[in-house]
Structure 1
Amino acid sequence: MNEYIQQVIDWIEANLKEEFSLEDLASYMGYSPYYCSFKFHQATGISIRRYILLRRLYLSTEDLANNRKIIDIAFDYGYSSQEAYSRAFKTVFGVSPREFQLNQMPIQSFAKLNIRQGEDGWRMNISRETEVEKLRNRKQELFEKDVLNILNGQIMYEEFKNKKLMGESDYAPFNEAMCVNPTTAPIFNQQFIETRAAGHRETIENYRNKVIEPLHHLLKKNYNYIVLWFGEDMFCQMNLLTVLAYLEQSQYKGKVFYNSFREDEFKVSQTELTLGNYYSVYEEVLVHQRKPTNELLPVMYQAIELFLEMKREDNIVVKYISKNKHLPKSELLKQLFNVFPTLGYGDTQYIELIDKTVK
């Protein structure tokens, strides 16, 4: 079945800029339109038309970055007008094409799906050292002693610290998964620690040792610069939102840089952030699970949409698991990693959903 779905994806990709016809796809595949549509949704978790929409809009961001005329881009990707393209773009990314073009903001990638992905999953195809060296050439001041690098997770932290990738600067890991379990309005205080520990079924002591103690540089020292290294998936973005909210809560006055990257390729997009609205967004989204009222970077806007979707009992992952519960757990787990890379979930989150859904 995976081979069949990959053929469907390959045909769609070859015809992305053409007017889509489910009948033409079905004729090419030799099956009925209903069968093609049903099997695609079962294997990927989204409809064919949704896949095409997201791929076209994602690819159009490269044209915007190259300063092509928006109306030409709209017609290239099958929109009847610039207005129709702009509406679709803002719905997905939270900003207009013009705003994106002017500010070159980081977005969450929507790469071509590869159902035939290998056993070992995604692999970095660019070394971290090479990409970090490019950053050094652009901003040497971020490699000095008055800089704190906050990295998403212990593994990334250990690599950066042991290799001193960011020169003489300090390092701290954020070992959390803020996309799951309740949280509190105050961040990193006793109430926060107790709430998060309970959600993770950890003792307070273990939680302190795993999450709070490694952040001692952030909690105890002052820095002129803080550099945040978080991927563009939903898991990382909710962690990023929490750290940004804490910086506002603690009235941090220095400069903040966000280094965004995709997990399958370590190509860094660096953006200087202005603090001011992240704490209110944190309260709206993570505490109260509501849509934010402030404009955000597209990558965070997209992640919040996914976060709120995952709070529904019939979310996209639960539906996918229900349709594929005949698979062995190990195979289903592998498929979930392949199909939902933008979530960034780990084994723990997926296994909990599988056990809850497959009864």
Structure 2
Amino acid sequence: MKDTIKNLQEKMEARYDVSILHVLNGSCMLERFSNEKLMNKNATYVSFNEAMCWGEADTELFSPAFIKARVQSLQTTEEEYRQKVLEALEPLFKGDYGIIVLWFGDDMFCQINMMTILAYLDQTGYKGDVLFCMALERRDEMLDHAFEMDSSGYLDIYRAVLCNRQKPPADLLPVTYQAVDMYLNYRTSESPIVKYIKRNAGKENLVAELLALFPEYGLGDLQYKMMIEEVMYEDEV
């Protein structure tokens, strides 16, 4: 994986004689890039420390209404959200980059986060090039080529999927389409996760089992704990 990431960045720098911003899915990926010395000095690296597949959002990305919705959904404070999410993205908000590279995984969690960043680029009218480098999360590998992305139209896609819980109004990459389908169904009664929680309610190691059984969703222990509480509450009502 390390050599693939290095090769991808070398190809980008050879092809593009512009400032490059790398957006990574989460602080863990950013830490890995740092520890494995995968950060080039002439590029900027930020992480998107969100879990957009959980909770509510707003039609205008990173607006006061959006921040309020995310704070409530993630059960945090506005101060903590600004520090963890918004401050980490400051170069994206304030910089002027000729190319933006999105490093996101192929699971639902990562793809919904990536969709959100693409929607923000559409919202701001970004005119530079956008590349997507896909991590194959369950195999700890990286595809050896990047996808050229067009962010135009992604704001409508984001609003349909995350704000209205509807199928997107445009074609998507197959991996993103699959993630959207999973996102729209994973908290319903037909979800394999919900069914498993109901069958195994009260198990001491239920969160660990969910993490192991459903890696394609990319959910973390906090999301699973909230899902368990949600399912148990609905059963009691």
Structure 1 and Structure 2 fold alike (TM over 0.5): yes
User: By how many angstroms is 1:141 displaced?
Assistant: 3.8
**Deviation string for 1:191-245 (max 9, x for gaps)?**
2111111211211111111110110000001100100011010001110000000
The residue that corresponds to 1:159 in the other structure is: 32
Q: Distance in 1 between matches of 2:58 and 2:136?
A: 29
Q: Distance in 1 between matches of 2:97 and 2:36?
A: 21
The residue that corresponds to 2:185 in the other structure is: 309
**AA of the residue aligned to 1:280:** D
User: By how many angstroms is 1:154 displaced?
Assistant: 0.8
Q: Secondary structure at the match of 1:329?
A: coil
**AA of the residue aligned to 1:329:** E
Q: Secondary structure at the match of 2:120?
A: helix
Q: Secondary structure at the match of 1:325?
A: coil
Report whether the alignment pairs 1:281 with 2:170: no
The residue that corresponds to 1:200 in the other structure is: 74
Q: Distance in 2 between matches of 1:218 and 1:355?
A: 35
User: By how many angstroms is 1:344 displaced?
Assistant: 0.3
Q: Distance in 2 between matches of 1:275 and 1:356?
A: 34
User: By how many angstroms is 1:189 displaced?
Assistant: 1.7
CA contact (8 A) 2:165 2:184 kept: yes
Percent identity between the two aligned chains: 38
The residue that corresponds to 1:329 in the other structure is: 204
CA contact (8 A) 1:258 1:270 kept: yes
**AA of the residue aligned to 2:208:** K
From 112, 122, 142, the counterpart of 1:267: 142
Could you list the runs of 5+ residues in structure 2 that have no partner in the other structure? none
TM-score by length of 2: 0.90
Report whether the alignment pairs 1:290 with 2:176: no
**Deviation string for 1:114-171 (max 9, x for gaps)?**
xxxxxxxxxxxxxx42121221453334787700000011121133245551412101
Q: Distance in 2 between matches of 1:184 and 1:137?
A: 37
The residue that corresponds to 2:225 in the other structure is: 351
CA RMSD of aligned residues (A): 1.9
CA contact (8 A) 2:131 2:146 kept: yes
Q: Distance in 2 between matches of 1:235 and 1:142?
A: 30
CA contact (8 A) 1:145 1:170 kept: no
From 235, 243, 266, the counterpart of 2:109: 235
Q: Distance in 1 between matches of 2:183 and 2:208?
A: 21
User: By how many angstroms is 1:315 displaced?
Assistant: 2.3
TM-score by length of 1: 0.60
Could you list the runs of 5+ residues in structure 1 that have no partner in the other structure? 1-127
Q: Distance in 1 between matches of 2:17 and 2:218?
A: 31
> Larger radius of gyration, structure 1 or 2?
1
Q: Distance in 1 between matches of 2:45 and 2:36?
A: 11
Q: Secondary structure at the match of 1:261?
A: strand
